[in-house]
Structure 1
Amino acid sequence: PSETNQLLLPKTSRSEDFSEFIGYLHADGFLIFNIIAQNTDEMVAGQIIEHLYRTYETSTMNYNTGV
């Protein structure tokens, strides 16, 4: 990702969280993000990734705590 997109991604002290998020996206997700990034501003693509990451992060916290 570009420097702009990297700055938009939430920082985490645990690298496995980000690895799990990458696995969550799968190849189809990356294709969609590439299409979005090619047809919009990088800021838009970064905001979409950030929103999905926060949604994923919340769902895994709820799963781990049994909520």
Structure 2
Amino acid sequence: MQFKSVYSMRMYGLMSGQKKPLTYKFEDLKERFGVKDKYKLVGHFKTRVLDIAKKELDECSPYSFNYTEEKEG
């Protein structure tokens, strides 16, 4: 697979071979993507990492994902 974004490749790696739905907290995903200290706001992380990865995976791979934000409290 040739992705333009490193985030797409990382998400592809997380999803490949999985048969059950995956559940991650945003903080865990940020750490896995190596941007723990880069995006302070969840909205920035979603638009600059997750949305880009989703778009590329939808276009170039057999995998795709959806995400929902579950707020605590």
Instruction: Please tell me the TM-score bracket, short chain as reference.
Output: 0.3 to 0.5
TM-score (norm. length: structure 2) = 0.34
Which of these two proteins has the greater Rg computed from alpha carbons? 1
TM-score (norm. length: structure 1) = 0.36
Higher helix share: 1
